[in-house]
Amino acid sequence: MQAPDSTPFVEMTGVTKHYAGVTALDGVDFVVHPGEAICLAGENGSGKSTLIKILSGVEQLSEGEIRIGGAPMTGLTPRDATAAGVLVIFQDFSLFPNLTVAENIAFANELSEGRKIFSRRHARAVARKVLDRIGVDIPLNARLETLPVAHKQLVAICRALACEARLIIMDEPTTALTGKEVTALLDIIRLLKEQGVAVIFVSHKLAEVLAVSERVVVLRNGKKVAEGDAAEFDAASLTHHMTGRDVAEASPGAFTGTGETLLSVEALQKEGSFRDISFSMQTGEVLGITGLLGSGRTSLAKALFGLVGPDSGRIVLDGTEVPLGDPIAAAAARIGYVPEDRLTEGLFLTQSILRNVAVGRLQEHERGGFLDMRGLVGEAADWLTRLKVKAPSITAPVQSLSGGNQQRVALARWMARAPRLLILNGPSVGVDVGSKADIHEIIRDLAQQGLGVIVISDDLPELLATCHRILVMKGGALTDEFAGGTITEDALSQKLAS
């Protein structure tokens, strides 16, 4: 399918980028036509964010050429890109929580017009005009921090439009949205395309946006590995191109059962997050919980580890009731939790690998208040070897490690505590392809050793490859249950979105 206008708006040819010896992008050609929507797919480290950074002027290319609107661009800066109509909506939206909707929308526009005097009326007029353009009504005087996530995203889109955007690049646009909100977003995208605005979706899960896209471009290891009509792709073929593997990892199949109940959750409830959650699992079982963002899956995961205090319900582990809303009690009951955001929640980046592992089991190494350093070092080193962490030294700061090794350090901390139940929230987010398979292997190993593992994720291939059973959450409730090997990725993704 050819775009309606055949003169390309953006033309990138032979774009190459080296970072300190690493080639992040290698001779990539990339073209965007007006009014066209493109899915730019690739796993972390594939080079897709580098491409976007170059296009938006944040990074400079090492070799190659960029033309925007037919004009060659050398030394592109963020301001040049904005002026040329290329705008990025970051995953965190880069908005100002303390300012009003109108100001957030109009700010960039006022700034680029070189205004010195700020007129509330003018800002409101600008904001009103763009909101009308996409047919959305958000109170202009509301403080941004009071808005729901979906509205914040709309404000970010409006801000781009207020700058007369001709190309909007959206970084992971659907991660924070519920199914209904995604539909509303897609309607707006269609509207923008009719108005001649091009859109690039940057994402690692594209099933949701395929419907409104003309073209798909897949990057892997800095090279373009696939490009074609969106109609030719489905979730499975995208995964195939992104990972470069022909066959998906095999499902462990349905759980055959050890017969010992490890965990039972009874009528767990928290207003506004999840309701009436009941399930149980056995030792040695890997249980997947999935759902879109806002479905309550993360709240539930946190509640199981006491980080969120449920209003009512019971959590029983090995026949003993675990106090609710107390992470220290949960840890004492031998529940472990590896959070989704490794960098801010999971690890102490500036601290050594040793400390990151050791902090999990300090109590056991305290002799009258003093730490038995030798024991601590020995044990941590042992776990790091068992989990195959590649590191120059045990005292190197964790931030010097790759994503996959960082995740192993986070796992090692909990493994050292010999947990009965390990909750992994997004275990392979931001991990390269090779490490991902390794982490899945670790999960399978853990289950074999008789642990219960709960994997919370929206990475469907990951769930299918690791879980004996998958629970689907929607609007705060458990809605479906599938035994491993009984459902395909497409079917599961339809269950999620419906």
Partner 1 sequence: MSGSGPRTEQTLTQAPEFRLAIIAVLVFVLMAVLSPDRFLSAQNMTSMAFQFPEFAILALAMTITMTTGGIDLSVVGVANLSAVIAATILTSLAGPEAAGAVAFLWLAVALGASLAVGAAAGFFNGVLVTRLGLPPILATLGSGLVFTGFAVAMTGGSAVMGFPDIVSVIGNATIWVIPVPLILFAILTLGLHILLTRTGFGLRVMMYGANPLAALYAAIDIDRILMRVYVIAGMFSAVAGMVIMSRANSAKADYGSSYLLLAVLIAVLGGVNPYGGYGRVVGVVLAVLSMQFLSSGLNMLQVSNFARELIWGGLLLLVMVINTTDWARLSARRKPAKTG
Partner 2 sequence: MTNRWKELLARNETLVAVVIVLFCIVASISDPNFFTVTTLSDLLRASIVLGILAIGCMLVLISGGIDVSFTAVAVSAMYMTTKLSLTLWPEMPWPLIFACSIGFGALLGAINGVFIAIFGLPTLIVTLGTLSVFRGFLLTFVGSDRISALPPDMREFSRMMIARGTTEGGDFYALPWSLAALAGVILLTAFILHKTMLGRSIFALGGSVESARRLGIDVRRTQFFVYVYVGALAGLAGILHGSMGRMSDPFSLVGLELSVIAAVVLGGARLIGGYGTITGTLLGVALIVLVQNSLIVIGIPSTWQSVTIGALILLGTGLPAYQAKRAAARAG
Q: Which residues bind partner 2 (CB under 8 A)?
A: 78-79, 82, 90, 94-99, 103, 107-108, 110-112, 115-120, 270, 272-273, 299, 302-303, 307-309
Site for partner 1 in 112-151 (CB under 8 A): none
Locus of tokens 């909750």: 423
Instruction: Check binding of 62 to partner 1 (CB under 8 A).
Output: yes
Q: Do residues 444 and 252 touch, judged by C-beta distance below 8 A?
A: yes
Terminal CA-to-CA distance of the chain, rounded, Å? Answer: 28
Residues in the interface with partner 1 (CB under 8 A) total 44
CB of 493 to partner 1, least distance (A): 29
Residue (74 or 320) nearer to partner 1, CB? 74
Measured in degrees and rounded to the nearest 5, phi and psi for residue 362 equal -65, -40
Which are the contacts of 20, defined by CB distance < 8 A and separation ≥ 6? none
CA nearest neighbour of 418 among 355, 358, 361: 361
Pick the binder of partner 1 from 136, 142, 191, 331 (CB under 8 A): 331
Residue (207 or 354) nearer to partner 1, CB? 354
The Cα 342–Cα 359 span in angstroms is 16
CB of 42 to partner 1, least distance (A): 23
DSSP of 24-92, one letter per residue?
A: EEEEEEEEE-TT-EEEEE--TTSSHHHHHHHHTTSS--SEEEEEETTEEESS--HHHHHHTTEEEE-TT
Pick what 61 binds: partner 1, partner 2, none; C-beta below 5 to 8 Å, kind-dependent.
partner 1
DSSP of 209-278, one letter per residue?
A: TGGG-SEEEEEETTEEEEEEEGGG--HHHHHHHHH--SSPPPP--S----S-EEEEEEEEEETTTEEEEE
Site for partner 1 in 385-414 (CB under 8 A): 393-397, 400, 413
Pick the binder of partner 1 from 24, 61, 89, 439 (CB under 8 A): 61
Binding mask of the shown chain, residues 306 to 325, with x at each position contacting partner 1 by CB under 8 A: -x------------------
Site for partner 1 in 368-387 (CB under 8 A): 369-371, 373, 377
CB of 350 to partner 1, least distance (A): 5
Q: Is the four-CA dihedral 43, 45, 51, 56 of positive or negative sign?
A: positive
158-166, 198-206, 258-266, 331-339 -> range binding partner 1 (CB under 8 A): 331-339
Q: Which residues bind partner 1 (CB under 8 A)?
A: 60-63, 74-75, 307, 327-328, 330-331, 337, 339, 344-355, 358-360, 362-363, 365-366, 369-371, 373, 377, 393-397, 400, 413
